[in-house]
Structure 1
Amino acid sequence: MSDSLPTLPGADLASHMASVATAGLRDVADRLHTALQEVWPHDALVIFTKECTGRPRKKAGDPLITGGVTISELDALRDGASPGLWTGQAVLGGLTRPVALLGAGTGALLVLCGPRDPVVADGPAHTRALWDVAAACIAHLVAEARPDYLRESRAATQERLEVTAELTDRHSTDLESLLAVLRGRNLDDATARARAIDLAADALIRTRTGGDLVVSIAEEPVVTAFERLRSDLSPLSRYQSLQIQFVEPPSDGRALPGEVAHAARAIVRSTVLLMREQEEVTRVRVQWNCDGTNLLVSVRDDGPGRLNRELPAVRQLVARAASLGGLLDLEAIDNWGSRVEVRLPLDASQPLEQLPGSWGLRPREIEVLRLLTAGQRNRQIAARMGISENTVKFHTSRIYRKLGVTSRAAAATVAAEAGLR
């Protein structure tokens, strides 16, 4: 690199870092791309991180390049990348192109496609600094599991559909190649069979690898998710006088969608910190369970029982659960302790208004039915909706009549069968 290249002023680097550090998940790639153009010009930029389950690819730059980048290509690049900066030729967007790769301690990968000569003497070092900020920012936003991120992550099924489409296309190509060999007349039977076996074996390996990749992006084993939570909370019990008891979920429990795992950890972390702020709390019990349909989270303390739903921190927890169609219930008893119970559905539910046969329910009746289906009692529904128990009874009677049932259990069954969670 020429010594005559200028050095990026410290103020400019600080400005770029501030821009990247304050980015959201939707615009972090664009901001990083803009900042790096003044340091290390390139045609396109791609970020790949399995932590962000909704959209593991974040792209900026030339759409003719970014539009063709596949998850499988990025996964192969990350597996083959060295720990530091790597430059060379690699397949990206279906073509072999010059690239520069940078990993991160979070496991994320940065790909610069078509990198040109740095325009500042310490371009690679500045690139590393900006990328470290971006990677840390992404990891923080995912771990924080804000309601807007959780809603977007659950709704962003297109990314997973694209991965499935990639695998389908590849599988179709493999089958066509296999059929071409079997139908060919230029090979004898033994040669054709040997070649067909080789093609089928390679295709099977690629299909299984691709399937594992889709699952690893979309889901997290429930035991693994719980171990990460235990690791997150270990400093509280290690360096402070707070005993945290963990009740692990069944080892054979259903894997959690990524956004559910992120939300559950964030809710538990925030709940434990909130409980710790009360006087006289010495013990917190954290339990996860899975009934096959929902992740069930319970957090209890032995404190004075003074938590309430009106606290801003508690409202934030309720919003996190609600963003995934879940429910959070808080019960606090003076001098006995506080209990937070959370139910997070593992599958995205279809809004009742969009389901066939919504029975002409009004919005308030739909919400009552949704809470009733989740197992909430009249008192809990009244507290959640800010209405009286008599009003809840009035709504449930109208719901029974419209659904043609005579009991809570029957109403919940009808709603659940229709897809309401």
Structure 2
Amino acid sequence: MTSASTASRSDRVWMSDHARALAEQTDRHAVTLESLLAILRSTRLDDRAARQTAIDVAGSALVALRSSEDERHQELLESVVDAFAHLKAELRPLVRFGELDVQYIDPPVNGRALPGDVAQAARAIVRNAVLAIADGAQARRVRVQWDCDGLHLLMGIRDDGRGELHAHDDALRPIVENVAALDGEMTVSSTLGWGTDIGIAIPLDLAPVPSPLEDAAELTERERDVLRHLALGARNAEIARAMGISPHTVKFYVSKLLRKAGARNRAELAALMR
């Protein structure tokens, strides 16, 4: 392998890590902003208390942002209990002042330690799910449960909404993409009038990172077309119109590309393509 090729691969790895870090920060900022809105809208706080609480939450978020670089160099493994406690701490302001009642079922203390990537992805999945449910304003209660069978991290997310969600909803797209990128499995079961139950299993031993996309001979011509549109920032509906296929077919191709590339979301796919 030439030095230029080695440098090119290193650049791709850097871009993938950079895109992953940006996605993680975006998730955290979304939770912080939703928490601030919940505080300012809360009828349980007067103006002075709301202002001080919002300042405290924003200050804590700034401290977390400044220390995020240090977090990347911490232990490569997290106990499942610590990872779950971290998740609850991230969601605490939103749960305390928002309209959504989030209930937690703690994982067993003897669960296998989670690789850092799996722990971060699992928290991102739950954050996205809680934000999607809160934005929908249909549910009043959501239950979050983690477990570990030794080979997989098992997650359950159940709400008491109208029971109209399905796996193809745009609100669940970030979750579907994260699960697909980790070679996980996801089921969505909805019952009208009774809510939605999301089940997710993520393997703890991740597959090795595949070759760069442009060198991947196993990509079909359709997959390459979808990838080129993604690299330009096109949305699913725009890709569907340009290629003359349905948005659901585009989602199918995007999921396949995520698995083949080892990317967690569309931003990482675009970064790898570039």
After TM superposition, the score normalised by the length of structure 1 is: 0.34
Distance 1:217 1:240 in 2: 33
State the Cα deviation string for residues 185-240 of structure 1 (Å, max 9, x = none).
xxxxxxxxxxxxxxxxxxxxxxxxxxxx9xx5320011000001111111222101
Select 1:348's aligned residue among 195, 201, 206.
206
Q: CA deviation at 1:277?
A: 2.3
Note the 1:56-67 alignment, pairs <5 A: none
Q: Contact between 2:81 and 2:108, CA under 8 Å: does it hold in 1?
A: yes
Equivalent residues of 1:317, 1:328 under 8 A apart: no
Identity rate, percent: 38
Match of 1:314 in 2: 172
Counterpart of 2:111 in 1: which secondary structure?
Answer: coil
Given that residues 128 and 174 in structure 2 are in contact (C-alpha distance below 8 angstroms), is that contact kept between their aligned partners in structure 1? Answer: no
Q: Which amino acid aligns with 2:140?
A: T
Pair 1:332-2:190 in alignment: yes
Query: Structure 1 residues 302 and 27, CA, compared in 2 at 3 Å: closer, same or farther?
Result: closer
Gaps spanning 5+ residues in structure 1: where?
Answer: 1-23, 31-50, 52-103, 108-131, 143-212, 352-384, 387-421
Whole-Å separation in 2 of the counterparts to 1:349 and 1:261: 16
Q: Distance in 1 between matches of 2:95 and 2:79?
A: 25
Map of 1:281 onto structure 2: 139
Q: Quote the residue 1:296 is aligned against.
A: 154
How far off its partner does 1:25 sit?
Answer: 8.4
- Counterpart-to-counterpart distance in 2, 1:275 and 1:236: 12
2:120 to 262, 265, 268: 262
Q: Distance in 1 between matches of 2:15 and 2:185?
A: 30
Q: Which residue of 1 aligns with 2:14?
A: 26
Whichever residue aligns with residue 103 of structure 2, its letter is: Q
Q: Which residue of 1 is the match for residue 258 of structure 2?
A: none
Instruction: Tell me the distance in 1 between the aligned counterparts of 2:108 and 2:132.
Output: 27
Q: 1:296 and 1:288 mapped to 2: Cα distance?
A: 6
**1:317 counterpart letter in structure 2:** I
Over the residues paired in the alignment, what is the CA RMSD in angstroms? Answer: 3.7
Gaps of 5+ in 2: 1-11, 19-23, 25-61, 210-250, 253-274
Residue number among 217, 233, 243 corresponding to 2:75 in the alignment: 217
Q: Mark the CA change 1:289 to 1:28 in structure 2 (over 3 Å): closer, same or farther.
A: closer
Q: What letter matches 2:158 in structure 1?
A: R
1:267 counterpart letter in structure 2: I
Please state how far the C-alpha of 1:27 moved relative to its aligned partner: 5.7
Change in CA separation of 1:25 and 1:282 when aligned onto 2, cut-off 3 Å: farther
Structure 2 distance, partners of 1:348, 1:280, is 35
Q: Helix, strand or coil: the match of 1:277?
A: helix
> Per-residue displacement from partner, 1:305-328 (whole Å, max 9, x unpaired)?
121222223122111011111112
- Return the letter of the residue paired with 2:104: F
Match of 2:106 in 1: 248
Give the count of matched residue pairs: 160
Deviations 1:58-105 (A, max 9, x none): xxxxxxxxxxxxxxxxxxxxxxxxxxxxxxxxxxxxxxxxxxxxxx94
Q: For 2:174 and 2:151, locate their aligned partners in 1 and report how far apart those are by CA, in whole Å.
A: 24
CA distance in structure 1 between the aligned counterparts of 2:149 and 2:85, rounded to whole angstroms: 19
CA offset digits 1:331-376 (Å, max 9, x no partner): 111111011111000012479xxxxxxxxxxxxxxxxxxxxxxxxx
Q: How far, CA to CA, are the matches of 2:136 and 2:78 in structure 1?
A: 33
- Distance of 2:64 and 2:137 partners within structure 1: 36
Cα distance in structure 2, aligned partners of 1:28 and 1:295: 24
**Which SS does the other structure have where 2:14 is aligned?**
coil
Amino acid at match of 1:295: L
Report which structure shows greater RCO (CA 8 Å, sep ≥6).
Answer: 2
Contact 1:299 1:339 in 2 (8 A): yes
Worse-superposed segment, 233-242 or 259-268: 233-242
Specify whether residues 220 and 332 from structure 1 end up closer, same or farther in structure 2 by C-alpha distance, changes over 3 A only. Answer: same
Contact 1:243 1:284 in 2 (8 A): yes
TM-score with structure 2 setting the length: 0.51
Aligned mates of 1:266, 1:27 — CA distance in 2: 20
Equivalent residue, structure 2, for 1:229: 87
Letter in 2 for 1:343: A
Change (3 A) 1:347 1:276: same
SS in 1 for 2:143: strand
Higher helix proportion: 2
The answer to whether the 8 Å contact 1:106/1:139 transfers is no
